[in-house]
Structure 1
Amino acid sequence: MVDGVALTMGVAGSKLEKALGDHFPEGERYFGLENFGNTCYCNSVLQALYFCVPFREELLEYYSSNKNPSEGDENLLTCLAELFSQISSQKKKTGVIAPKRFVQRVRKQNELFRGYMHQDAHEFLNFLLNELADILEKESHKVTSLPQASSAEHVANGVNYAQVNGFKKEPLVTLVHKYFQGILTNETRCLRCETVTARDETFLDLSLDIEQNSSITSCLKNFSSTETLNAEDKFFCDKCCSLQEAQKRMKIKKPPHILVIHLKRFKYMEQLGRYKKLSYRVVFPLELKLSNTMEDTDSEYSLFAVVVHVGSGPNHGHYVSLVKSHNHWLFFDDENVEMIDESAVQTFFGSAQEYSSNTDHGYILFYESLSAPKS
Structure 2
Amino acid sequence: MGAAGSKLEKALGEQFPEGERYFGLENFGNTCYCNSVLQALYFCVPFREQLLEYYASNKSAGDAEDNLLTCLADLFSQISSQKKKTGVIAPKRFVQRVKKQNELFRSYMHQDAHEFLNFLLNELVDILEKESKASKASPETSSSSEKTANGARTSPANGVKEEPLVTWVHKNFQGILTNETRCLRCETVTAREETFLDLSLDIEQNSSITSCLKNFSSTETLNAEDKFFCDKCCSLQEAQKRMKIKKLPHILVIHLKRFKYIEQLGVQEALLPGLLLSAVVVHVGSGPNHGHYVSLVKSHSHWLFFDDENVEMIDESAVQTFFGPPRVL
Would you say same fold, with TM above 0.5? yes
User: For residue 95 of structure 1, what is the aligned residue in structure 2?
Assistant: 87
After superposition, give the CA deviation of every residue in 1:32-66 in whole Å (9 maximum; x if it has no partner): 00001110000000000000000100000000111
Quick one: distance in 1 between partners of 2:95 and 2:278?
24
What secondary structure sits across from 1:317 in the alignment? strand
Picking from 37, 41, 61, the partner of 1:49 is: 41
- The one-letter code of the counterpart of 2:248 is P
- 1:126 paired with 2:111, answer no
Indicate conservation of the 8 Å contact 2:284/2:324, yes or no: no
Q: How does 1:159-198 map to 2 (within 5 A)?
A: 172-198=165-191
- The one-letter code of the counterpart of 1:190 is C
Shift of 1:345: 1.3
Indicate conservation of the 8 Å contact 2:265/2:328, yes or no: yes
- The one-letter code of the counterpart of 2:45 is V
User: For residue 152 of structure 2, what is the aligned residue in structure 1?
Assistant: none
Q: 1:37 to 1:353 in 2, by over 3 A?
A: closer
Picking from 9, 13, 22, the partner of 2:5 is: 13
Picking from 301, 319, 333, the partner of 2:293 is: 319
Quick one: distance in 2 between partners of 1:101 and 1:301?
34
After superposition, give the CA deviation of every residue in 1:273-302 in whole Å (9 maximum; x if it has no partner): xxxxx88332153x523xxxxxxxxxx211
Indicate conservation of the 8 Å contact 1:284/1:349, yes or no: no
What secondary structure sits across from 2:20 in the alignment? coil
After superposition, give the CA deviation of every residue in 1:135-164 in whole Å (9 maximum; x if it has no partner): 00000001128889xxxxxxxxxxxxxx99
- The one-letter code of the counterpart of 2:197 is L
User: For residue 37 of structure 1, what is the aligned residue in structure 2?
Assistant: 29
Q: Which runs of 5+ in 2 are unaligned?
A: 142-154
Quick one: distance in 1 between partners of 2:187 and 2:237?
11
- 1:108 paired with 2:100, answer yes
Q: Which runs of 5+ in 1 are unaligned?
A: 1-8, 149-162, 270-277, 290-299, 356-375
User: For residue 202 of structure 2, what is the aligned residue in structure 1?
Assistant: 209
Q: Counting helix residues as a fraction of each chain, which structure ranks higher?
A: 2
RMSD between superposed Cα atoms in Å: 2.5
Shift of 1:72: 6.7
What secondary structure sits across from 1:26 in the alignment? coil
Shift of 1:20: 3.7
Quick one: distance in 2 between partners of 1:47 and 1:103?
14
Shift of 1:171: 6.3
- 1:235 paired with 2:228, answer yes
Indicate conservation of the 8 Å contact 1:41/1:124, yes or no: yes
- 1:199 paired with 2:192, answer yes
Q: How does 1:151-162 map to 2 (within 5 A)?
A: none
Shift of 1:194: 1.0
Indicate conservation of the 8 Å contact 2:261/2:328, yes or no: no
Indicate conservation of the 8 Å contact 1:181/1:202, yes or no: yes
Quick one: distance in 2 between partners of 1:313 and 1:122?
15
Percent identical residues: 83
Q: How many equivalent residue pairs? A: 312
Indicate conservation of the 8 Å contact 2:258/2:326, yes or no: no
User: For residue 65 of structure 1, what is the aligned residue in structure 2?
Assistant: 57
Indicate conservation of the 8 Å contact 2:71/2:94, yes or no: yes
Shift of 1:353: 8.7
After superposition, give the CA deviation of every residue in 1:103-130 in whole Å (9 maximum; x if it has no partner): 0000100011111111000000000000
- 1:258 paired with 2:246, answer no
Q: 1:305 to 1:319 in 2, by over 3 A?
A: same
What secondary structure sits across from 2:253 in the alignment? strand
What secondary structure sits across from 1:193 in the alignment? coil
After superposition, give the CA deviation of every residue in 1:294-330 in whole Å (9 maximum; x if it has no partner): xxxxxx2110000000110111110000000000000
- 1:136 paired with 2:110, answer no
After superposition, give the CA deviation of every residue in 1:142-198 in whole Å (9 maximum; x if it has no partner): 1128889xxxxxxxxxxxxxx999xxx776311111100111111001111111001
Shift of 1:68: 5.8
What secondary structure sits across from 1:282 in the alignment? coil
User: For residue 219 of structure 2, what is the aligned residue in structure 1?
Assistant: 226
- 1:248 paired with 2:265, answer no
User: For residue 343 of structure 1, what is the aligned residue in structure 2?
Assistant: 317
Shift of 1:12: 2.5
Q: 1:96 to 1:302 in 2, by over 3 A?
A: same
Q: What is the TM-score of this pair, normalised by structure 1?
A: 0.78
Indicate conservation of the 8 Å contact 1:185/1:253, yes or no: yes
Quick one: distance in 1 between partners of 2:75 and 2:260?
34
- 1:282 paired with 2:274, answer no
